[in-house]
Structure formats: C-alpha cells, structure tokens
Chains A and B, each alone.
Chain A
Amino acid sequence: ILSLITTCLVLLTAKSKKTLAKPGVKNVVLVEGVRTPFLQSGTTYADLMPHDLARAALQGLLHRTGFPKEAVDYIVYGTVIQEVKTSNVAREAALGAGFSDRTPAHTVTMACISSNQAMTTAVGLIAAGQCDAVVAGGVEFMSDVPIRHSRKMRKTMLSLNKAKTLGARLSLLGSIRLAHLSPELPAVAEFSTAETMGHSADRLAAAFGVSRQEQDEFALRSHTLAKKAQDEGLLSDIVGFKVPGKDIVSKDNGIRPSTMEQMAKLKPAFVKPHGTVTAANSSYLTDGASAVLIMSEEKALAMGYKPKAYLRDFVYVSQDPKDQLLLGPTYATPKVLERSGLTLADIDVFEFHEAFAGQILANLKAMESDWFAQNCMGRKAKVGAPPLDKFNMWGGSLSLGHPFAATGCRLVTTVAHRLKKEGGQYGLVAACAAGGQGHAMVIEAYPQ
C-alpha cells in the first residue's frame, strides 16, 4: 500500500515536461531582480522625481550583481504616468545611475504590465541575437503627477507665444475666463469608456458574485502573508534606498494586516452606496521602481553568473475594456500554458498581480466557470483556477503596493525566489492592465 501511495504521489507531482528548453532556441535567463521599497505615495519619496526612484533601482541592481556597466547592451524601462520632463525616463535614469552613456535606453508603456513589456522586449532582443545583457524595469511615482491647465487655457497660452503685438497679447489675456483656470487632473480611468478602474472592478466582482466579505478576506490574506514574508526576510529583492535628506528606506510601508471587523467598517470607494470595493480591499497608490538583469544563459555563465531562472513562454492578451477590463489573467493563463505544453497542475508557484481583491477573485471564479469559458473565451471547458496554497504566498499588490509600471518585475523576481525557496520547477506570472489587456509568463527554475 505504501508503494502505491508513493507511486500516486510521484504521478501527482510528475510534470508534463521535464524542461521547457527548446532545441535551437536561446535560453534567456533572469540573473537578478531588485526593487526599491514600495511606499504609499505622499510618504518618504514625496519630494523625489520618477527618475530618482528608477536610478535607485538601477544602481541597486548594479550594486548587487557587480555587473560591469559597459557590458549592458541595452536598457528598457516601463512607466505609466509620465513626467513630461523625463518622457524617456529610461535614458534619464540610466545616465543618472551611472550607466555608460553608450548604452541606449528606451521607455515602454502598457499600463500595469509596462515592466512585463520591458522584460519581454529584453527577452526578444536576446532571443533575436541582438543583445546578450539587457536591463529591464519600471518605475511609478504617484506622489507627483502632471496636473495640466485646461485645454482652453493651454490654447490661449500657446497663442500668446505667437502673438506679435502688445494689443494682440492683451486681447488674448483678456479672453481668459474663470473656467479656463480649472485644472485637469489625471484619473485612473479608461479613455475609451471614461470609467474608473475601481468602478469597473466593482461591477466585475458583482458579475461574478464576489461578496464584500470574500474580498475583505482575500485582502486580509494578502496583508497577512506579506507581513509574514517581510518578518521572515523573504522579500530579499528589496534594495535599501537612501532618500536625500532623509533616512534610509528599506521596507515596504503599506503592509498593514487589519481585522475583518475594521475592514467591514469602510464604505465602498467607487460604487455608492451598495458597492463592495473599498480602500481596504484595493491596491493603493504607490511609489516604487524595480529592475532586473536579463541575459542569454551562455553569456551569463561565461561571465560567471549563476542565473536565478529561465524566462520561458509569454503571451499578451486583450479583451473588452468595459466589462472585461481586469480579466487579463483569465485569458492569458490558459493561453500561455498551452503555448508551453504545461497544465495548471505543473505550476508550483503562482504570482498574480492583485489590482483589487474583487478582481483576483473574479478571475479565479472566471477560470472555474464553464459558462465563462464557453461563452466568452470560446473554449470547450474551464481551465480551472490556481490552488490558493501556491498563490501569492508572499503577499501581493494589495499589501506590498502597486507602483503601476514596477509591479511586473516584482512578480517575476518573486516567482524566481519562491521557486528556489519552495523547491518548485515552474512558476506562472499573470497580470491585468488598463485598456482590457493582460499578460502571462512561464518561468522555470534554474537547476540548483
């Protein structure tokens, strides 16, 4: 009987594939991944600029790896809300971080999966044989966002530049009305639908019958697991950041396990008064930056580096930005599994981006729903949802924070670290993004 049980266990843990290496395809590896501590916006980072945070992450990466700057072939960096002075923040940050001025850098943007896009761009450059070592990352700085003059005011001011005579200038100035002075604030809202993301998340939760209590419980889980990981020193991707004129910051400051009673007291933040998404079960506005070093395996080994993980198949998906805005993981997960020839059971570590507890739970329910698979995804049957005991075990965006364009690298690095710590072989990253887009990537542990 014992042998039968062992056989069963072996069968259960046996992988569909021993490795995802493919003949004739270059192995791309993650050598290292770091991030600044993620802070609630308006706290210690408040007086910085985005490229300062990005510099901190980039310098931290160099520092931790001891990688020679001149060996970096290319830098790709993500950002969502752009500081107009540093619209190619990749280049400004690289220069400021002391990288070689001969290393080109470009900035990508794809909402909350911007640094995922940075990383996969790097993977592409390496796989195509164009580069051997690429630094990717992302930064988000919500303590300061571009608040603009109204369009009318801007138009008047631009015309003022062109006005030739004093009279023309005066008449332009005279045309300014009180209404011109009201500023335009950026909102976390879809351009196509004008709906804020929290509002969409609330509707999504309702469509999947996710209750307020479930959401609060999930948020509490995230904070509890994050606190545990923080206390146990598992969040080793953090590099301390000496903020000019202030202390060294070395810890995330948004991890706050609360109680269900306290969370239940909060009023809904978006859909009033009957909504279920609250400040406590949503990710919050965060400042932070992340960076990873991605290389071809042979170059890394030649330079004496031991990679952390292989970056394998990845997919991008997109769907209806109104009613399915945040369902990216549901669409991307089965697609990337099929691409790599794995099943859900092959995955040892799941790291999903937690935009809202309601969004994560809606995705889990969608993946468990045959109706959704058949009617919305054109599949014969559901793929199934990840088991929670493998899911975001070191906290997630709800608790650690979510600097939009920095989260992707955190997810990938966390998968690599968890695979190592937990002894797993395959990990899966999935994330949703504004615009109704999504991403997933399979990561394979590097042999010990």
Chain B
Amino acid sequence: MASVRAAGTLIRSAASRYPHFSVNGRRNFSASSALLARTYVNYELKDDVAVIKINDPSGRVNTLTKMMESEMMEVLYEVWGNGAVKSAVVISTKPGSFIAGADLNMIKACKSAEEVSGLSRDGQKMFEKIENSPIPIVAAINGPCLGGGLEFAIACQYRVATKSKKTVLACPEVLLGLLPGAGGTQRLPKMLGLPAALDMVLTGRSIRPDKAKKMGLIHHVVDQLGPGLNDPEASTMKYLEEVAVGVAKDLAKKKISLEKKKGLMQKLQDSVLGLSFVRKQIYNTVQKKVMKQTKGLYPAPLKIIECVQTGIEKGSAEGYKVESEHFGKLAMSSESNALIGLYQGQVACKKNNFGKPEKDVKKLAILGAGLMGAGIAQVSVDKGISTILKDTVTEGVVRGYNQVYKGMNDKVKKKSMTSFERDTNMSFLSGQIDYSGFQNADIVIEAVFEDLSIKHKVLKEVEAVISPHCIFASNTSALPIKDIAAASKRPDKVIGMHYFSPVDKMQLLEIITTDKTSKDTTATAVALGLKQGKLIIVVGDGPGFYTTRCLGPTLSEAVRVLQEGVTPKKLDSLTTSFGFPVGLTALIDEVGVDVAAHVAEDLGKAFGPRFGGGNPELLKTMVQKGFKGRKTGKGWYIYASKKKEKQLNSGAEEVLKAFKLTAPPAVSGDEDVQYRLTSRFVNEAVLCLQEGILADPIQGDIGAVFGLGFPPCLGGPFRFVDSFGADKLVQKMKRYEDVYGIQFTPCQLLLDYAKDPSKKFHK
C-alpha cells in the first residue's frame, strides 16, 4: 500500500518535472490516492520556513531508497514552487536516525555496473539540484548521518547537528568496498580541504559533532536536552527543529553568511594546496600509504583517490563522471560483495536469536585476572555491569585491576571517555581473592589456566557458593565444554564463552553450547555478550569448537612451511599479501607459542593425522627455550627493542634448522604456499558446517574474519569458496593431497559443492 501511495503522488507532480525518477511501470498506478499524505517525506510550513520531515516507516533507520528520493524531490519542487517559502529545514522524525545511508538492497538488486552507475548519476543529479536550491536548505541532523545521508546533508546549504552520542557523520562506503557515489568525492574536498577529505573518505571514520564543526563539515551544534516537559529524545528533536528553523530564517534574511571565515592556517594551507605539484605529492603519498596498507587487495581506496583527483584537477563534470563509473565497477567487485556480506553478517550477529533471558545479568564474576579475565572485566564494567574479578593471589588481582584501569584511562586520554565515567565504571569492579559475593552472581566466567583438572576444581568450588540460577561459562579456547561440564551438578547451566585477546579490541565472542546447555543459558550468555558490545557466533561443542579448530590445521601447515625453509618473514609477507591482517608467525607470537603448542597437541590428539603437518615437537622446543612469543620478549621475532623493523630471533632460526625438511618443489611456489594454508583453513571451516558445529555459513564467515583475521576482502571462508569456486579449490587440494596425503583431503560438503557449481553458501 505504501508504495502505491507514494507512486500515486509521484505521478501527480514529480513525473513531469523530474522525469528522471519516473521509473517505468509506476504510471500504471491510479492517481486516486494523490491527496493522501506521502509515506516517507512530508512537510509543514512554519512562517516562511518549510520544515521537511523524513521517516521511513518500514525500517529502524532511514535509508535513501528510490521512493524516499522521489518523494523528497517532489516535496522540494513543491516548496520551490511556493513563493512564500524563503527557506527550508530537512529533519528526520525517526528517533535517533537522520539517514543511515543509501539502501544497500537497491545496489544489490542491480545486475550490471552500468545499472549501478545509473543509480549514482541519479543521486548526483538530485544532490546537485539541492546544492543549487534557490532557497537555503538546512539539514538538521540527529543520529547517524552516513554515506548517502551525509552526501545529502553536504549538498544542503547549512548543517545543524545535535551533540547526541548517536550523532555521527561518516562516509563508510570504503568499508563496504564502495565509494561515496553521489557527489561525496567531489564536494568533500571543496568543503574540508584535500587532506581532511581524503582522510574521511579513505578511512570511513566516524566523526563526532564537535569535531565535525571544527573541520567545517557542519556549521552549528545543538546540545542534547534532559527531561523537561517531555522525554529527552523528543525535547532534543523539538529543540533541534527550533534552532534549525531559526537558522533557516536568518539564512534567508542573510543574517548568517555562508562565506566561511578562514583562519591563518586555513589560508596558508589553501595557498600551499593551490600548487599543483604539492597536490600531486599528496596524491602520491596517499596512494603509497593505501597500497602499503591494503597490499592492493582493496580496489575502493584507489578509485576514491582517482575520483577526488579527477574532480580537483579536471573539474566537477569529469569528476562526477568518474565517480559514477567507478561506483558501478566497485559495486560489482568481489571485494565489495565480500565486505557487504560481512557488514550484513555483523548485523545478523548482533541479534539474540535465543529469546529474552529469564534474568538479566546484573552481576558478573570472573575467575582469573589475567589478560583475558581483566579484558572481559573491562568490557563489562564500562557497560555498567557490576563485576567481580577474582584471582588466587593479590598480585594477580592488582595486575588485572591495573589493566582495566589502563584500558579505560587510555580512552580518557583519547577523550572518548571522561575521567568521571572512568571512575564510575571502576566502581563497578571488585578485585578479590575469595568467593565473597559470588552468591549474588548471575554468571561466572572462568578464565583460568587451560587444564581440565584445574577447570574441574574451580567449577566445583564455584558451584559450592553460587545460587541455583547462576550460569557457569568457560572462556576456554579449545577444551570441549562437555568435558568441563562433566564435573558439574547442573550441566544445563554450563556454556562456553570464548573471547579473543585483546578482549577490548577484538569484536568476536564465540559461544559454545553442548547438547545439555539450556536455551535460557544460551540466551543469557548471548545477551551478556551483546551488552559487552560483541559480535556473537553460537557454535556446537567439540575440540577447538569452530575458530580454534580452523586455526589448528592452518598453524600446523605454517610450521611445515617454515620447516621447509620459508623464513618467518617470508611466510608473514605471503600471508599478509593474501589479505590476512597479521602474518601467521607474528600471529603465533601474539597468541603465544606455548598456547599454539598446547592447542596443536590437544587438537592433534582429538583429530589425529588430519591435523598433522609440521612437527609438533618444533613448537615445544621453542617453548622449552623460552621463546613463547611477545609476552616473553622472544618468539619467532625479538620484541625487546623498539625498532620499527622486527628482528628475527636467531634462536628460533636455529630451532628451525634442527627441524629442517626438504620442500617438495611441485607445491612450494609462493601461490601454492598461500593456498596450502588457506585451503586447510577453509576445508576445516566447511567441515564444521558439515558436522553441525556451525549453524550457518554467515556465522562461519564472521567468526573467521573477526576472530582469526581471515582476509576481509575475501569475506570469510564460505564466501571465498563461493567466489573462488569450490571446484577450483578442490582441484588445488587434490594436487596437495598427492604430496601430503590426508591433510588435504577435501571434506564431503566441499566435494558436493564442487560437483554442482550452482550450489553456493551465500544466496
């Protein structure tokens, strides 16, 4: 019905004046509903100001859809046609959302690059009309103003934004493998200057209102209001509208000038940037930086630079043309497809699919104040969850307490938290060495040493003091939860919560359920994780669950590759150039060589020769020599010096020599090494899906990318199989299987997909 209404009004006025949006087929609708209010965009007059209100009734946030755009233009033509209207304000009536971007489905529905370019050109034309508006238009922003929403706002003559925590401005297109395709690459450099604009479009970083004002991205900020005659959100929106209407009137009366007053620094910068060789230098520098960071695996940033450069050096017309062309190409790229998939996966993994828990987690207790325990504490207390951090010794508690404090104090230094918030958050933390207060805990997370007998010991101790409803969660990275639950009196209350280190930086939380874990236990754990700000995958129980299990064969292969004479540095460069954010040997150092050895041993026992490859004794020897990775200052590399270039650990090289193998030439080329590592990772992931450890490929992709650093440009193991081709992958594996045997035998599910090319993990 909504679309019919909207279409009806579209025919009424816009079709003739704005033929561009009169898409075929809409003319078939009857115009009888013309008098009804519009669905997405409405307006009212306040004196001589048209207050244009947007609201997408179908979504949680406003997105730029074709329908919304056409109604917007229709309203604007009506406003422009009314001589009594001297200015306009555009504001959203949806609480906490301005415009969160263009509708991704609109882009995904396109079949060709040319079609997407068409969308881009439509947007460009629409915003050009707004930019050339005969009356000033004020964008009144509360809530996210992202992507297409930002491009819309910067086409307006003036921008007022609230200081709400929800208000952020950004061009996140690059994070989706796209570019700001509706004039963003052309307007931003003019508005912010070349360096700031490039930073904004290339990083996609979120800009808070105060910073945005300083940069010149917005003109005016409005404070958030507290409760008054109405609730704070409503009061703030009303206030924003009043201020924006006032500004609009002043603009119409020319009481406010649109000319920017430039400071000395700004003038200086402008004059320097006026020199073409300086600009050229900037393009080059930025391009080099992008190449270094992306290894050329992500096309979007390079295209963005090209768009910006074309607009500045060859003029807007050419700039817009290049922008829309590149936008179309990027939208069709596998990288963008992968990144959009990850974005949608993230959204999916931010939901609790297990229902509302019977009891909210008000009190959390953590056993073990080490790196993990304290990390979990930090992401809990800063969400206002009362948390006990228990260790066996006071020194441990102090260390953990200091870690939490430092984590938050760093935020204070970066001004993303006030010192008062830090202090209040710290008041939620109780460091202790006894079990006092555990009787009030709703959930206990253990982060003690990875040893089953120790886990059993603490489980029994904890169960003696906690209340019947309290959940026991284990932050193990490899021990099967059912083995831990074996010691429990109430296995339905036992669950795995596998956090990733450093907990305050890594987004992923892997939750592991056994067949005895109750649904409410899962719902509670997921709810806690979501409150802690985590992306959550819920997987079945088994040795290594999902993430650690994928890592197992990959690391085993990495050790073999090293034994075969590939240096750690070379291995790191091979993996990073494939798209892994951290090289594999560097990753082992970060995780801890001892942890890797431990996991390799455990999983080797559980899965047998399939997990073989490198000699497990190699890592053990490293551990014996004290090369445990970054934490001991030495692993594959030496971490003592603060030099930029990491030094190889000669001790580790000697260990490698002792375990040296001959590399089979047929499968030892650079590309083969990359695919040997990747195919074992991917095969294990697909096997997890086959065995039901994974519920769906989406969680598999999210877990691999956000927990293990699987190349984001590939979108995760499952999307990689889809885009690379299961058959091609199987061919490669067969070739490796001929040399190494069972470790490269493709699993049945992968073989099924290889046989039938129409089968895809992602629709």
Q: Report if A and B associate in a common complex.
A: yes
Partner of A322, one of B222, B226, B230, B235: B226
- Asked if A193 and B232 make an inter-chain contact with CB atoms under 8 angstroms apart, the answer reads no
A304 to chain B, nearest CB (A): 52
A364 to chain B, nearest CB (A): 12
Contacts of A193 in B (CB 8 A): 418, 420
- Please indicate which of the listed interface residues B229, B231, B235, B420 has the most CB atoms of chain A within 10 Å of its own CB: B229
Interface bracket on A: 20 to 34
Bound CA–CA A204/B223 (angstroms)? 11
A203 at the interface (CB under 8 A from B): yes
B81 at the interface (CB under 8 A from A): no
B231 to chain A, nearest CB (A): 7
Contacts of B228 in A (CB 8 A): 204, 206-209, 362, 365-366, 372
Contacts A274-B222, A274-B243; A208 near B229 (Cβ below 8 A): yes
- Please indicate which of the listed interface residues A203, A322, A366 has the most CB atoms of chain B within 10 Å of its own CB: A203
User: Contact string, A169-200, partner B, CB cutoff 8 A, digits 1/0?
Assistant: 00000000000000000000001111000010
Partner of A271, one of B223, B229, B231: B223
Contacts of B239 in A (CB 8 A): 206-207
- Please indicate which of the listed interface residues B225, B228, B243, B247 has the most CB atoms of chain A within 10 Å of its own CB: B228
Bound CA–CA A421/B243 (angstroms)? 46
Contacts of A191 in B (CB 8 A): 420
- Asked if B225 and A372 make an inter-chain contact with CB atoms under 8 angstroms apart, the answer reads no
A190 to chain B, nearest CB (A): 9
Contacts of B247 in A (CB 8 A): 274
- Asked if B232 and A323 make an inter-chain contact with CB atoms under 8 angstroms apart, the answer reads yes
Contacts A193-B420, A206-B235, A207-B235; A323 near B226 (Cβ below 8 A): yes
A6 at the interface (CB under 8 A from B): no
B274 at the interface (CB under 8 A from A): no
- Asked if B229 and A204 make an inter-chain contact with CB atoms under 8 angstroms apart, the answer reads no
A100 at the interface (CB under 8 A from B): no
Contacts of B692 in A (CB 8 A): none
User: Contact string, A339-363, partner B, CB cutoff 8 A, digits 1/0?
Assistant: 0000000000000000000000010
B232 nearest CB neighbor, chain A only = A323
User: Contact string, B220-252, partner A, CB cutoff 8 A, digits 1/0?
Assistant: 101111111111100100010001001100000
- Asked if B420 and A324 make an inter-chain contact with CB atoms under 8 angstroms apart, the answer reads no
A205 nearest CB neighbor, chain B only = B228
Bound CA–CA A194/B247 (angstroms)? 28
B219 to chain A, nearest CB (A): 10
Bound CA–CA A274/B231 (angstroms)? 21
A67 at the interface (CB under 8 A from B): no
- Asked if A192 and B226 make an inter-chain contact with CB atoms under 8 angstroms apart, the answer reads no
- Consensus secondary structure, chain A interface: loop
Bound CA–CA A204/B246 (angstroms)? 19
Bound CA–CA A191/B421 (angstroms)? 11
Contacts of B229 in A (CB 8 A): 207-209, 365, 369, 371-372
A165 at the interface (CB under 8 A from B): no
A47 at the interface (CB under 8 A from B): no
A320 nearest CB neighbor, chain B only = B226
A128 at the interface (CB under 8 A from B): no
Bound CA–CA A199/B221 (angstroms)? 13
Number of residue pairs spanning A and B whose beta carbons lie under 8 angstroms apart: 59
Contacts of A192 in B (CB 8 A): 420
A376 to chain B, nearest CB (A): 5
Bound CA–CA A207/B225 (angstroms)? 6
- Please indicate which of the listed interface residues A192, A324, A366, A375 has the most CB atoms of chain B within 10 Å of its own CB: A192
Residues from 69 to 101 in B contacting A, C-beta threshold 8 Å: none
Chain B count of residues within 8 A CB distance of the other chain? 19
Bound CA–CA A369/B232 (angstroms)? 15
Bound CA–CA A320/B225 (angstroms)? 13
- Asked if A203 and B227 make an inter-chain contact with CB atoms under 8 angstroms apart, the answer reads no
Contacts of A372 in B (CB 8 A): 227-229
- Asked if B225 and A324 make an inter-chain contact with CB atoms under 8 angstroms apart, the answer reads no
Residues from 196 to 236 in B contacting A, C-beta threshold 8 Å: 220, 222-232, 235
- Asked if B420 and A204 make an inter-chain contact with CB atoms under 8 angstroms apart, the answer reads no
Contacts of A206 in B (CB 8 A): 223, 225, 228, 235, 239
Residues from 375 to 395 in A contacting B, C-beta threshold 8 Å: 375-376
Bound CA–CA A207/B239 (angstroms)? 8
- Asked if B227 and A375 make an inter-chain contact with CB atoms under 8 angstroms apart, the answer reads yes
Bound CA–CA A115/B226 (angstroms)? 29
Contacts of A369 in B (CB 8 A): 229
Bound CA–CA A194/B239 (angstroms)? 22
Contacts of B223 in A (CB 8 A): 199, 202-203, 206, 271
- Asked if A375 and B235 make an inter-chain contact with CB atoms under 8 angstroms apart, the answer reads no
Contacts of B222 in A (CB 8 A): 274
Bound CA–CA A362/B227 (angstroms)? 11
B415 to chain A, nearest CB (A): 11
B104 to chain A, nearest CB (A): 36
- Asked if B243 and A323 make an inter-chain contact with CB atoms under 8 angstroms apart, the answer reads no
Bound CA–CA A368/B97 (angstroms)? 32
A377 to chain B, nearest CB (A): 10
Bound CA–CA A192/B230 (angstroms)? 25
Contacts of A320 in B (CB 8 A): 226
B91 to chain A, nearest CB (A): 15
User: Contact string, B373-385, partner A, CB cutoff 8 A, digits 1/0?
Assistant: 0000000000000
Residues from 640 to 658 in B contacting A, C-beta threshold 8 Å: none
Contacts of B230 in A (CB 8 A): 371
Contacts A193-B420, A194-B418, A274-B222; A323 near B227 (Cβ below 8 A): yes
B212 to chain A, nearest CB (A): 17
Please name 8 pairs of A and B residues whose Cβ atoms are closer than 8 Å in the assembled complex, sorted by A.
Answer: A194-B420, A203-B224, A207-B232, A207-B239, A208-B228, A362-B228, A372-B229, A375-B227
In the complex, besides A206-B223, A371-B229, A371-B230, 9 extra interface pairs with C-beta distance below 8 angstroms are A193-B418, A207-B228, A207-B239, A274-B222, A274-B243, A366-B228, A369-B229, A372-B228, A375-B231
| Among all A-B residue pairs, the 5 with the closest Cβ atoms | A323-B226, A207-B228, A207-B225, A208-B228, A192-B420
